[in-house]
Amino acid sequence: MTASTRTPARGEGARFSRRSLMQWTGAAAATGALVSSDPLRAASEPMRLLQADGMPDADRTVWSACIVNCGSRCPLRLQVKDGVVVRVLPDNTGDDTLENRQIRACVRGRNMRQRIYNPDRIKKPLKRKEGTRRGEGQWEEISWDEAFDLFAEKLKHTYDTYGPEAVFKVYGSGVWNAHLAYGAGWQRLFNAMGGHLNYYNNYSYSQIGGITRFHYGNQDEQVSNSFEDSLKHGRMLVLWGNNPQETRMSGGGLTYVSLEAARKAGLKIVVVDPRHSDSVAVLADQWISPRPGTDAALVNGIVHHLVKNNLHDQAFLDKYCVGFDEKHMPKGIPANNSYLTYIMGKGADGIEKTPAWASKITGVPEKTIIEFALELGRTKPVNITQGWGPQRHANGENQARAIYTLANVLGQVGIPGGGTGGREGNYWPLTAWLPNGDNPCKAAISNFGWSEAIVRGEEMTDVKDGVRGVKKLSTSIKFLLEYGGNMLGSQHADLNKLREILQDESKCEFIVTVDNQMSTSADLSDLVLPDTTTAERWDLVPSEYCGDTAYLIACEKAIEPLHDSKPAYEMVTEIAKRLGVEKKVTEGRDLRGWAQYLQDEVNVKAVPGMPKFEEMLKKGVHRYRNPEGTTVALRDFREDPVKNPLETPTGKIEIFSEELWNMARTWEFPDRKKGDVITALPMHVDTWEGAMEALSNDKYPLQLIGHHFKQRVHSTYGNLSNLQEAHPQSVWISIPDAEKRGIKNGDTVEIFNDRGRVQIPAKVTARIMPGVASLPQGAWTDFDAEGVDHGGAVNVLTSLHWTPVSKGNCQHTTLVQIKKA
């Protein structure tokens, strides 16, 4: 099998995903669902109920939602009988039209009852037993008063002894984007006490979130045009490392919209991905599969061919961009440092970035690169939308900027049907979150940098470790809160090394986990507090990455908190009372009071036609549309770059960044590895454990990536048996790689490197390119006595070493070996 193949016609390609569709269908049947015989329709409508009204003898039906960080938020209707949730129904508002589609939950949200009534629920406040180590699972149950007193005592001790920089709430996304549950008041509490160490960016897109300000000026990623815009105006849609059929499942995501795009005549869809994802199988006309971490090289080869054939948009580059050629460089930069000189081999390395050069690095045939370049150059408009896989590498900042640059070279920015090269755009919700208040502490680290800040916080600086707000941290992290996430035990990197760090009580002195499931992170804590699920509390839940229709979901408290759990906001209130800051934190409102206040005093004024709180509880879902119709990113800049400049130093798109040029000469890399460089241009950079090293590494020759998985959202739902059965964890390995190792489909294999070992069944498939393996990310660890993980957690194998600019998580840069166990 070559590294790049043309997918059969749409519909034929569905055979690659038949098993996943069957699994989805089986899950639907288990809940009394009717599934369409059309596989494309089945993918978007897996859960149409035979009984639209569910159980007729239920006491009441309450609006709720699936609140996880999948990029979607789906309404659920919980049917309650005798104080028990007895059935989960999907959204019954809207219709099958694109702009008013029903927001039907996927298999994960429809399995909410098993999450609510899971035996893994944390039932009582737990304190680690004296004399035991974190991670040994030795607990004693304590009362809520004891728990609140202990939390308050340890927090106050940390402030009094070390100051606010020693207090840190680690990134977690199990309650992401719920207006009330997401913050739950923890940051309000810390800010009332004097502040806390901040973090910037997030695990989803650290690199693109950190590098975009140097290219487009944004302090976050730069979105592209929406899928709806491509549907209406586009002729070509490129999903570059972008997999909406799995990462944006459900009616709340982009499954339905992307399927509509696949049905549109005259819109070609190309997927660039090392793995033949479900998006390739269901959507694509063509699949191009580069080696992981080589996307910048692929872009460079494409741009070379575009320029050679005069298919680039020189007029756009001249007017809107800096650094493409020598005529448009910042003053004072030496000659031969433009992007064009780099591409044509006239720069410092002297290498011409031809399609043949790119082919050797990427594994994509030269002929495919040339044909793809010609089609991009001759087909307009084209929307290149990059997912977050390409940037999650050791050279991820350059990968992201390179894909941005391809859209710039084609001149597609700011026009209908075109795009910026960023993730597909959407109409961001206008509704309000629980405010955190002002943080008096100005210091911030990267979201991925907290394990370093535990070990050597007082040594971390701005130019060495990416510290922001101050030149140098004053202390290490001493008090760590994990709320609604599983970073300590699943989602952070190098879990064996991380366990060593967390088990050393001389470093981080107190660790608290607040969650509703006894996760592997909770096991590494000193105090564990049982949170409720959404069914047991009030909330308001907005849409997120759902296209040009935004919405708000009302979440009513359906049942009383199970066991001895409490909503996190109630915990915050009690702790604040003990610390003397209750009034400042709560402003006199309970959780329902905040929900009503935000709805009636903020949301109603922000969104035309938005109902007030009591009416919203009955309506359940309120939709509202992008007033511009579809999202065309940077339209105003394209129309008048002088009146509407970007927030870059020049006000233009900076293909060459003078800021990065200067940072390359001032930033320090004391623990430098291959690829730890900052470049002013979006160059291809070979890195440690990258594609080139894999080709010559006999010990660990396989590149391991960790794709997002239908069974769970990151680690949320990872402990639910129904979903484990529907989508079992396995490592994807190519047929030739499996044959070399005597591995057959279903065999238990060991994946290993110097950081750890994992044993898991193998999925031997033609759907991944040779030399690459993929282990779905987010699995919960299950270590045996020998330290081998049988849960299939990819982060047992990944590295804590961060990227050069954003100091972000590069968990797709991992080399391993695989053998039959």
pLDDT, tens digit, for every residue of 266-301?
999 999 999 999 999 999 999 999 999 999 999 999
Q: Mind giving me the DSSP string for 562-597?
A: PTT---HHHHHHHHHHHHT-HHHHHTT--HHHHHHH
Backbone angles phi, psi at 495, to 5 degrees: -65, -30
Contact predicate 728/792, CB 8 Å: no
Q: Strands 33-34 and 621-625, how do they pair?
A: unpaired
8 Å CB contact between 62 and 88: no
Q: Quote the CA–CA distance of 247 and 346 in Å, as a whole number.
A: 41
Distance in angstroms (rounded) separating the CA atoms of residues 141 and 123: 9
Rounded Cα gap, residues 399 and 207, in angstroms: 9
SS3 258: helix
Answer whether 592's CB lies under 8 Å from 185's CB: no
Alpha-carbon separation of residue 256 from 15, 96, 418 (angstroms)? 19, 9, 21
Q: Which amino acid is at 266?
A: G
**CATH topology assigned to domain 122-197+441-531+566-587:** Rossmann fold (3.40.50)
Q: Is 698 exposed, middle or buried (0-12, 13-18, 19+ CB in 10 A)?
A: exposed
Name the DSSP class of 608: T
Contacts of 29 (CB under 8 A, 6+ apart): 35
Cα separation of 413 and 721, whole Å?
46
Kindly give, in sequence order, each residue whose CB lies less than 8 Å from that of residue 662, ignoring residues fewer than 6 positions away. Answer: none
Answer yes or no: CATH 2.40.40.20 is held by domain 691-820: yes
What SS3 class is residue 156? helix
> Which is higher by pLDDT, 289 or 53?
289
Q: What residue ranges of the chain are covered by domains with CATH 3.40.228.10?
A: 214-427+640-655
Question: Mean pLDDT for the chain?
Answer: 93
Q: Does residue 46 register a pLDDT over 80?
A: no
> What one-character DSSP code corresponds to residue 646?
-
Q: Contact, 788 vs 759, CB < 8 A?
A: yes
Tokens of 163: 């100051």
Sorted by sequence, the CB contacts under 8 Å of residue 391 that are 6+ apart come out as 205, 206, 207, 208, 211, 397, 399, 400
Range(s) of the chain covered by CATH 3.40.50.740: 122-197+441-531+566-587
How many other CB atoms are found less than 10 A from the CB of residue 784? 10
Give residue-wise pLDDT tens across range 349-407.
999 999 999 999 999 999 999 999 999 999 999 999 999 999 999 999 999 999 999 99
Question: Across the chain, how many H-helices and E-strands are there?
Answer: 29, 29
pLDDT at 37 over 80: no
Q: How far apart are CA 722 and CA 729, in angstroms?
A: 13
Q: State percent of the chain over pLDDT 70.
A: 94
- Comparing CA positions, the residue from 410, 355, 421 lying closest to residue 379 is 410
Task: Read off the pLDDT of residues 194-216 as tens digits, 9 standing for 90 and up.
Answer: 999 999 999 999 999 999 999 99
Is the confidence at residue 4, as pLDDT, over 90? no
Question: What pLDDT digit, counting tens, does each position of 603-617 carry?
Answer: 999 999 999 999 999
Checking phi first, is residue 86 left (phi over 0); if not, alpha (psi -120 to 50) or beta?
alpha
CA atoms within 13 A on the CB side of 66: 34
pLDDT on residue 52: 54
| CATH 2.40.40.20, the chain: domain bounds | 691-820
> Mean per-residue pLDDT for 717-744?
97
Q: What CA–CA distance (Å, rounded) separates 550 from 608?
A: 12
The average pLDDT across 724-740 equals 97
Q: What is the pLDDT of residue 42?
A: 35
CATH of 214-427+640-655, one of 3.60.15.10, 3.40.50.620, 2.60.120.280, 3.40.228.10: 3.40.228.10
The DSSP code for 15 is G
For the chain, what is the largest distance between any 2 Cα atoms, rounded to a whole number of angstroms?
A: 78
Summarize pLDDT for 10-26 with one digit per residue, the tens.
Answer: 333 332 232 232 232 23
Q: Pairing state of beta strands 268-272 and 236-240?
A: parallel
Q: Using the structure block, give the residue that is written with the tokens 């009690």.
A: 574
**What pLDDT is stored for residue 520 in this prediction?**
93
**pLDDT above 90 coverage of the chain, percent:** 88
pLDDT of residue 253: 84
SS3 of 173-226: the string is CCCCCCCCCCCCCHHHHHHHCCCCCEEECCCCCHHHHHHHHHHCCCCCCCCCCC
Global confidence as pTM = 0.93
How many CB atoms sit inside 10 A of residue 770's CB? 19
Quick count: other Cβ atoms within 10 Å of Cβ 30?
Answer: 14
Nearest CA among 251, 258, 282 for reference residue 108: 251
Q: Write down the pLDDT at residue 49.
A: 38
Band (pLDDT 50/70/90 cuts) for residue 68 is confident
**Residue 690 pLDDT class (50, 70, 90 cuts):** very high
Nearest 5°: the CA angle 94, 96, 100 is 45
381: cis peptide before it, omega within 30°?
A: yes
C-beta contacts of 666-670 below 8 A and 24+ residues apart: 666/463, 667/463, 667/464, 667/804, 668/461, 668/463, 668/464, 669/464, 669/804, 670/464
Residue-level pLDDT at 593: 98
Distance (Å, rounded) from C-alpha 352 to C-alpha 354? 6
In this predicted structure, the answer to whether residue 39 has a pLDDT above a threshold of 70 is: no
The mean per-residue pLDDT over the stretch 498-527 comes to: 97
In this predicted structure, what is the pLDDT of residue 495?
Answer: 98
Q: What is the mean pLDDT of residues 337-358?
A: 98
pLDDT digits 0-9 by tens, 308-320: 999 999 999 999 9
Residue ranges with strand state E in 692-755: 702-705, 731-734, 748-753
Query: At 255, is the pLDDT very low, low, confident or very high (cuts 50, 70, 90)?
Result: confident
